[in-house]
Each structure stands twice: as C-alpha cells, then as structure tokens.
Amino acid sequence: MYDVIEVVNDGLKALTESPKYDVTLTTTANQTEYTLPLALKGGKILKIEVQGITTDSNDNRWRPIPRSSWREDFSAAGSTGTLVLPQLPQGYTIRITYQKLHARVSAFSDYIDEFLHPDLVHACVLAHVVSWKNDQDRLIGDVSDAMRSLEEKAWSLFDRSRVVHSVAMEPKQIAGFPHWGTTSSDEFKPIPLP
C-alpha cells in the first residue's frame, strides 16, 4: 500500500500547480512586513487582497492590492519569506492567492484537491501505477505484452484527460495586459547557414 501511495504522489507531481488561498495574516498597525505562512513556501504568489469590511463574515469585499505595491522577500532554506505591503489599517484579513503543486498524500484516506477534475487525477494515477508495475516487472525480466499495451493506453488516456480537463489558471497582468507565461524562446529558430 505504501508503494502505491508514493506512486500516487509521483502522479500528483506530474499534474499542474493549482491555485490556493491563504487567509492566516491580519494587518497590524504601523507594520509593513509580514512573515509569510510556511504553506506558501515553494509556491508562487498570484494576487494579494485585503478585506474590504470586517463587520460581515459573508461579505468581505476583497480589495486587490496592486502588484506594484507589494513584494515578496525570499528566505534562506528552512525559514519563511517576508511579504512587504503598504501601510494598512489594523485588523483586516489579508487574502493571498498562490499556486503550488499538490501536497503529498500519506494515507489512503487523504483528500485530493477538488480543483483538479477527478477523471484527470484517475488517469494520471493509473498511468503512473501501471508504469511503476511494469518497471518492477522489468527488473525481474517478466513484463508481458499485455501490460506494455495497458501502459501505452494509460499514458494516452492521461494525455487526453489533460486536454479535456485542463486546469484553467487566471492570467497574470504584466503592465496592465494579460500574460499567460509564454517563454521568450522560439521553438522554431532559423537554421544557421554555413
């Protein structure tokens, strides 16, 4: 069972990062630097908002803090980073939207992030489990054609699931324009002439 749990963790690492919220920080008078929660370590901050009103628990009216007004100071290994914000009034909750890979599972009863479509997770885990099983069989020289065929089908199903159940991420704003993180490198570079 523990081997399969580790294979599930390998599969979850193959899936995309998903957005998460953290609302553990509260503004303090005369403070601009806040220690980031440990849960954000290794994640990428997408957006920071501050609670608009504190008198209604069902209507926070989150107000975005412009990206130009905050920064994340990175930390050394084993410690958390610092979030630098403008001076804010005391007693308001800070909501941080960040993206991060799925947390490790350690038991069969652990939850999988509902942001990921169940069919995508099933296809991913199936592909990784069949691949792991075939790797185990290859070590003893006993992998069958049927299992090789099943592995190919599982990876194909995973590829289709990634297209059908793709994870939609909110585009980043760069200079006021949406940006989906495309790289500047060109895959179709000109062939150098002799």
DSSP code of residue 32: -
Is residue 35 within a helix (H) or strand (E), and if so which, with residue range?
Answer: strand 33-35
Distances (CA, A) of 131 to 2, 11, 146, 162: 16, 11, 13, 18
pLDDT, tens digit only, all 194 positions of the chain = 888 889 989 988 888 788 888 999 999 999 999 999 888 888 889 899 999 888 887 888 899 999 889 999 877 777 788 999 999 999 999 999 998 888 888 888 888 888 889 999 999 999 999 999 999 888 888 878 899 999 999 999 999 998 898 876 665 555 555 555 544 444 444 555 55
Within 10 angstroms of residue 169's Cβ, the number of other Cβ atoms is 14
